[in-house]
Amino acid sequence: MGGYANEMGIFMPLLKQNLNIFKQFVMTVKMNRIYTIIKMLQSKLKKILVGQYLRFSYIKAKLGIFFRVKNKDMYVFLDKKLIYFEATKCGCTSIKAALLGIDTEEFANRQAEIHLRAEKYRKEDIQKYETNCYKFAFVRNPFSRLYSCYNDKFVKAKNIRGTTGYHDFLLGYLRNCKKFEDFAKRIAKIPDVFSDPHFRALYRHLHIDNKYKLHFVGRFECLEEDFEPIRKKYNLGELPHFNKTSNKEDEWKDHYTKELASIVYKRYKKDFDTWYPNAYQELLDYLDNQK
């Protein structure tokens, strides 16, 4: 009996220890299964929410009863009697550098500072300034502009930071875009009221209730030529060229198909109708000639 008791005395602690390990294992398996189920539910819920979010905002925007997009991208330079209406991806960094008289070589790799320095000139309401100021803006072919946005905020950003500029935008709605076509098709479903300024329609940037009438709207495609008269008249700095998308001027055309061109055209129809009425047909002709 004494020997049996000794054996049990040794065995019982081992049994308890193994039982505890087994319980921990069971709990781990259960927790992993629960965690997997929670993640699956989160994923499904996110898809449902994003879908409803886009559908709801689209209907509201179409009815014209949702929040209006306020133009907060107006820069007033009273000493020069100039007001610049910024439209992103249309040479805005270069234009701000010229307006500020910035040494472009010094800031070639510090472009964010150019925008920061321009902030003190930003105004939400220019009514008291506009009478005596020259108001101008620049626009860009929406096909080219959207590709530039993708290249800058997705391709370049991912290479530099390991993540895109829109990783968390709209609950990660744009996060898993693998190529430009995926990006463009998803952008086409986002109304301007919820769009990031870099892909919001130019019409919404520059024509908010037609409240402000611009004296001049230049084209990004001939930026230097269109900006030169303003530069000379108002004694501005030289116009640098930042964020060059490619050495090939029309590279963006090769990333479109006829189907994708139609989708993007419908998304930015007001922009095309207002400033680039022939751009859609020109792109279709280009694609036909590539066959």
Q: Domain ranges in the chain?
A: 1-66, 74-289
Q: What is the DSSP secondary structure assignment for residue 23, as one 8-state letter?
A: H
Higher pLDDT, 83 or 158: 83
| ∠ Cα 180 249 227 (to 5°) | 110
* pLDDT(134) > 90: yes
Which residue did the predictor score with more confidence, 142 or 124? 142
pLDDT given at position 182: 94
**pLDDT for 223 beyond 50:** yes
Chain mean pLDDT for the chain = 79
State pLDDT tens for residues 105-120.
666 566 778 888 888 9
Q: Residue 184: what pLDDT?
A: 96
Give the dihedral sign, CA 182/188/194/195.
positive
pLDDT in tens, 233-259: 999 988 887 655 555 678 899 999 999
Place of tokens 């270069």: 94
Query: What's the one-letter identity of residue 68?
Result: R
Nearest Cα to 89, choosing from 245, 207, 240?
A: 245
Q: How many residues does the chain have?
A: 291
Burial of 58-74, coded b for 16+ CB within 10 Å and e otherwise, reads beebeeeebeebebebb
170 alpha carbon, distance to own chain's centre: 11
- Amino acid 192 reads D
User: What's the mean pLDDT in 181-208?
Assistant: 89
Which of residues 67 and 114 earns the better pLDDT score?
114
Question: How many Å apart are CA 134 and CA 260, to the nearest integer?
Answer: 38
**What letter represents residue 264's amino acid?**
V
In this structure, which amino acid lies at residue 63? L
The better pLDDT of the pair 258, 35 is held by 258
Tokens of 211: 């409240």
Residues 245 and 274 sit within 8 Å (Cβ to Cβ): no
- What confidence category does residue 219 fall into, taking pLDDT thresholds of 50, 70 and 90? very high
Structure-token pair, residue 66: 């949702």
